[in-house]
Structure 1
């Protein structure tokens, strides 16, 4: 095993519980200050219906080699943290508050914007150089190895090169905010912005919605050398179309510097509200069972699932990876607390 293979790998997960009265009051106060609720601030975007416990449980079960799992949160902690703190996982999972994440940049708080939060990853206390970033609606659905994410010190990316849109105005490069607050900021456009910032004029590497292997030093170095871009990207409490995606920026910089390679072998199955009905749901879950190349699943907007299906769905999750409470009560290598 070479030295790079021994270097630690962390996971970084963003999470919010929109049902928390304190968080809801904080968000509502901001919305009142701007006089309206943009679509991007829909209450359903901040709802948590129990899936986050499975996200963390899947990381503990299927990626036990992770050194630490950092949960980014805003004055909140998941209900399952006491179980973890009393188990063998106590040092494995930590909550990083936004006040820690934005230390030195507190003027950008409060924020409800994942693009702003993502831009501060490099400031997470004790974060490993190599880390895997994922949202709270993702789960691993089978065991993964470190080389699924990093090989020979390089990040393993999946995606494809796409042409830049001709004539696109790159607001992020000019520092202009959007004048269309109700327009949903596009993910692909934000990736294209990132490519331009990294020096790619005619194409961008489009990455699907999936867990992202990232290199902390690449982001930290760029933000240190371009403080104006950092200041612009973190100033929006809600997502704005002038923002770039920090993970996409790191991807492009890593590709440019020879610190990344492309491998599209492993897949993510992404579920949307239209998938939460029979027989489609059963078909997609069967695809996970039968296709070993599907390592990750993203269950978006689970709150839209019909109550009659919810029990069956969570039973499937329990059968696939085990009940989260049981996993949380059990330390590494199956040793109970």
Structure 2
């Protein structure tokens, strides 16, 4: 995608982050968990809240490969990453803005505290000063190659990466399995359903009248327009209230990024793109040998621009060291990045 813009795009980035290792946070999590019934184990897996330094590489990757971003908003639960102190006195100090949950949950304080990324994502558009166009990514996402604004917003349209899929309820296999499950559950205790990612996308599509197919979003940084969500929720406040009512992930929730995408599709305001790809590493289900092979492939494939490394906190130290070594090579640490910036600033034009 080439650039035809005379004026630079104003685009921000939003990252959600939590340090689940902090004792105060853990105590709060356990307190509310004991007061909540029917929480699926996947929603409270320690790896959802664990933190082993991914945020540093996430931020550096944005600084290095998307220098055109205006501001980066870091949405947290009354926490401040220690690494931000390194930015003091640099050109990047005022590009990072900490946003506490209380700010975006203003008027919805009953929903706090929350330990649910889907709940938090529902309100990101309420960040004060956020640009009309913004990228949303978790702290386990990293850019590994230069990207341009046109890779996310092209001719004022939202760039989507994904594919159309059939909703599960319309497959014969699913209907048979659902019927058998319903019969069995008549004689079993109530079961907590898995809050699957695909199901949350399907529910978002169904809100807009899609009953057979839905556009499945791939794992990659999501391109969003603030006004799209603000306008929709101003007319469907009950849906917003419902979605943020869950402190922990729940199978009845919809995915706000999927909702935004289907709204843009309905308005013919999208460009479907399949060139840039994301390497998604699910470390809990992959051997170190397989991970190394995928990293080598990403090094060679120039179309792999994004990497998502899930559950890095839950794998053996050898695997962690392998991945951090690779991230140091592909992205670089914050210290090395700032040092290079200082050297470049001292070189005369």
Give the TM-score normalised by the residue count of structure 2.
0.87
Name the structure 2 match of 1:172: none
Q: Secondary structure at the match of 2:113?
A: coil
- Measured at CA, do residues 154 and 81 of structure 1 come closer, stay the same or move farther in structure 2, by a change above 3 Å? same
Q: Distance in 2 between matches of 1:329 and 1:27?
A: 38
2:296 to 286, 296, 299: 286
Q: Distance in 2 between matches of 1:276 and 1:51?
A: 19
Name the structure 2 match of 1:176: none
Name the structure 1 match of 2:29: 27
Instruction: Give the count of matched residue pairs.
Output: 327
1:161 to 145, 161, 164: 164
Query: Does 2:11 match 1:9?
Result: yes
Q: Name the Cα RMSD after superposition.
A: 2.3
Q: Secondary structure at the match of 1:6?
A: coil
Deviation (angstroms), 1:322 = 1.8
Name the structure 1 match of 2:224: 214
Deviation (angstroms), 1:209 = 1.5
* Conserved 8 A contact 1:83-1:329: no
Deviation (angstroms), 1:104 = 1.8
Q: Distance in 1 between matches of 2:227 and 2:190?
A: 34
Q: Secondary structure at the match of 1:279?
A: helix
* Conserved 8 A contact 2:38-2:192: no
* Conserved 8 A contact 1:87-1:330: no
Q: Distance in 1 between matches of 2:265 and 2:233?
A: 17
Deviation (angstroms), 1:200 = 2.2
- Measured at CA, do residues 316 and 166 of structure 1 come closer, stay the same or move farther in structure 2, by a change above 3 Å? closer
Deviation (angstroms), 1:44 = 2.5
Q: Secondary structure at the match of 1:237?
A: coil
Name the structure 1 match of 2:184: none
User: What runs of 5+ residues in structure 1 fail to find an aligned partner?
Assistant: 170-178
Q: Secondary structure at the match of 2:168?
A: coil
- Measured at CA, do residues 136 and 209 of structure 1 come closer, stay the same or move farther in structure 2, by a change above 3 Å? same
- Measured at CA, do residues 42 and 57 of structure 1 come closer, stay the same or move farther in structure 2, by a change above 3 Å? same
Deviation (angstroms), 1:181 = 6.8
* Conserved 8 A contact 1:62-1:140: yes
2:329 to 319, 323, 328: 319
Q: Distance in 1 between matches of 2:340 and 2:302?
A: 27
| Greater CA drift, 35-44 or 282-291 | 35-44
Q: Secondary structure at the match of 1:33?
A: coil
State the Cα deviation string for residues 218-276 of structure 1 (Å, max 9, x = none).
00101110010010000100011111101100000001102111111110001112566
Name the structure 1 match of 2:122: 119
For the pair shown, which has the larger CA radius of gyration, 1 or 2? 2
Equivalence map 1:209-288=2 (5 Å): 209-274=219-284, 277-288=287-298
Name the structure 1 match of 2:65: 62
Q: Distance in 2 between matches of 1:203 and 1:258?
A: 17
Deviation (angstroms), 1:65 = 0.3
